[in-house]
């Protein structure tokens, strides 16, 4: 098992540590490799994410590569992005060519229906989410990010009434209610078509363990990511390492 962390955010997007601090931290922790995967999505509602230019991104990559080589830390230049509903990347050829790793994460869902705050278990909305995730699983990109954690339920929440923990619990309840065995089978079928890896999302401990077990049975590769936005979370990957050990699934680990 290689200790890698392939999902990290720096100050280039919404993280608190600079790319140098993150690389230094990885070196200190003795990680085999990391990927700095800042948000890059021209269609994101968050202006800070959607306003980053390709030129800025390529500069960021150059800086990361230079510094990683200088201190001798294996570091990949990645991005985290959402796709359109059909799972298509909306990135230029140049970005695709330059990025070592592309994580596609379902940060939002194209949905025409009306959402009501407080009505968390909106079946139509979650069915639409599931369709999008299956499309994303079948689509391009290296890794499907946090498919059961960080669900896009913010429009269903009453603003400023929930803690991080409560939102995670809500994600779990939604997964248990709607993401059933039949859906997981279709999800795995789509992954088999594309060869895409699924992320073991360490901060939320998702996907659920029975889903991970099925992924392993189907020999779907898995990628380890802390999704850290702070320096202290860099390399918080023990949960994923333990699961890989428990199922003797180290050979399915996505390594680049
Ligand atoms: Zn994300
Ligand atoms: Zn992230």
Q: What is the DSSP letter of 154?
A: G
Mean pLDDT of 25-46: 97
Burial bucket for residue 182 (CB in 10 Å: 0-12, 13-18, 19+): exposed
What distance in angstroms lies between residue 146's CA and the mean position of ligand 1's atoms?
A: 7
d(CA 170, CA 141): 28
What distance in angstroms lies between residue 142's CA and the mean position of ligand 1's atoms?
A: 14
Percent composition of the chain: helix, strand, coil (DSSP 3-state, to 5) = 45, 15, 40
CATH number reported for the structural domain that contains residue 218 in this entry: 3.20.20.140
pLDDT class for 211, splitting at 50, 70, 90? very high
What distance in angstroms lies between residue 8's CA and the mean position of ligand 2's atoms?
A: 7
Q: How many domains does the chain fold into?
A: 1
Residue 87 pLDDT:
98
pLDDT exceeds cutoff 90 at 112: yes
What distance in angstroms lies between residue 145's CA and the mean position of ligand 1's atoms?
A: 7
Residue 48 pLDDT:
86
Q: Is residue 171 part of a domain?
A: yes
Coil vs helix vs strand at 35: strand
Q: Is residue 90 part of a domain?
A: yes
pLDDT class for 189, splitting at 50, 70, 90? very high
Q: Is residue 254 part of a domain?
A: no
Q: What is the DSSP letter of 85?
A: T
Q: Name the closest ligand to CA 152.
A: 1
Q: Is residue 32 part of a domain?
A: yes
What distance in angstroms lies between residue 62's CA and the mean position of ligand 2's atoms?
A: 21
Q: Name the closest ligand to CA 203.
A: 2
Residue 1 pLDDT:
87
What distance in angstroms lies between residue 80's CA and the mean position of ligand 1's atoms?
A: 7
What distance in angstroms lies between residue 155's CA and the mean position of ligand 2's atoms?
A: 19
What distance in angstroms lies between residue 205's CA and the mean position of ligand 2's atoms?
A: 14
Query: What b-and-e string marks burial along 34-49, b requiring 16 or more CB atoms within 10 Å of the CB?
Result: bbbbbbbbeebeeeeb
Residue 100 pLDDT:
98
What distance in angstroms lies between residue 63's CA and the mean position of ligand 1's atoms?
A: 23
Residue 161 pLDDT:
87
Q: Is residue 252 part of a domain?
A: no
> What range defines the domain where residue 126 resides?
4-244
Q: Whole-prediction pTM value?
A: 0.97
Residue 129 pLDDT:
98
Mean pLDDT of 24-35: 98
Query: Residue 102 corresponds to which tokens in the numbers above?
Result: 């592309």
Mean pLDDT of 119-128: 97
pLDDT class for 172, splitting at 50, 70, 90? very high
Burial bucket for residue 60 (CB in 10 Å: 0-12, 13-18, 19+): buried
């Amino acid at each position: 098992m290689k200790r890698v962390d392939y999902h990290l955010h720096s100050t280039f997007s919404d993280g608190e540590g600079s790319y140098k601090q993150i690389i230094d931290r990885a070196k200190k922790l003795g990680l085999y490799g990391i990927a700095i995967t800042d948000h890059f999505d021209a269609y994101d509602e968050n202006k800070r994410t959607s306003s980053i230019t390709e030129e800025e991104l390529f500069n960021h990559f150059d800086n990361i590569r230079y510094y990683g080589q200088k201190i001798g830390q294996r570091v990949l230049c990645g991005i985290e992005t959402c796709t359109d509903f059909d799972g298509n990347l909306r990135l230029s050829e140049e970005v695709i060519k330059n990025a070592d790793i592309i994580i596609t994460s379902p940060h939002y869902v194209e949905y025409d229906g009306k959402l009501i705050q407080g009505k968390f278990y909106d079946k139509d909305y979650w069915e639409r989410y599931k369709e999008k995730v299956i499309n994303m699983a079948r689509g391009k990109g290296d890794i499907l990010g946090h498919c059961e954690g960080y669900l896009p339920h913010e429009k269903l929440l009453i603003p400023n009434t929930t803690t991080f923990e409560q939102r995670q619990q809500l994600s779990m309840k939604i997964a248990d209610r709607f993401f059933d065995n039949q859906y997981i089978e279709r999800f795995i079928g789509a992954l088999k078509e594309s060869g895409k890896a699924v992320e073991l999302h360490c901060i939320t401990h998702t996907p659920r363990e029975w889903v991970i077990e099925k992924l392993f049975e189907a020999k779907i590769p898995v990628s380890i990511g802390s999704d850290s936005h702070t320096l202290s979370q860099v390399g918080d990957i023990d949960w994923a390492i333990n699961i890989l050990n428990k199922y003797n699934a180290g050979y399915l680990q996505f390594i680049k």
